[in-house]
Amino acid sequence: MALSLQDVEKIARLSRLHLTEEEKTQTLQELNDIFSMVEKMQSVDTDGIEPMAHPHEAALRLRADEVTETDCAAAYQAVAPEVRNRLYIVPQVIEE
C-alpha cells in the first residue's frame, strides 16, 4: 500500500499539523518506507512458529506464594458503624 501526497495532506489536516512542502515529501517517503517494511514482514512464512512473549529466553524470578500478613478485618471493622457479611454498610447518598 503506497500513500500519495494527498493522503499525507489529509492525515496532516486531520492531525491538525501544519507541514511545509518539504516536510510533506519527507513524511510521505517515511510512511511509504514503513508500509513497505510491513509488507515484507507479512510475506514471511510463520507457519509452525510459536508466538513469543519476549524475544529473549528469560525466566521470571517469582517469590513463593506465601501468606505474609494476618487477617485484621475483624479489628478494622470493629470500629465501623455497620458491617454485614464482612462488608461495610454506608448510608445511601444518591437518590433513586
Name the more confident of 17 and 95: 17
CA distance 19 to 63: 52
Whether the Cβ atoms of residue 35 and residue 7 lie closer than 8 Å to each other: no
Rounded to two decimals, the pTM is 0.51
Domain covering 5-42 assigned CATH 1.10.20 in the classification:
yes
Angle at 91 between CA 89 and CA 93, to 5 degrees: 135
> DSSP H helical segments within 15-72, as ranges?
21-42
Beta-carbon contacts of 57 under 8 Å, excluding residues fewer than 6 positions away, are none
| Residue extents of the structural domains in the chain | 5-42
Give the pLDDT confidence of 25-79 residue by residue, as tens digits: 999 999 999 999 999 999 999 899 888 888 888 777 888 888 889 999 999 999 9
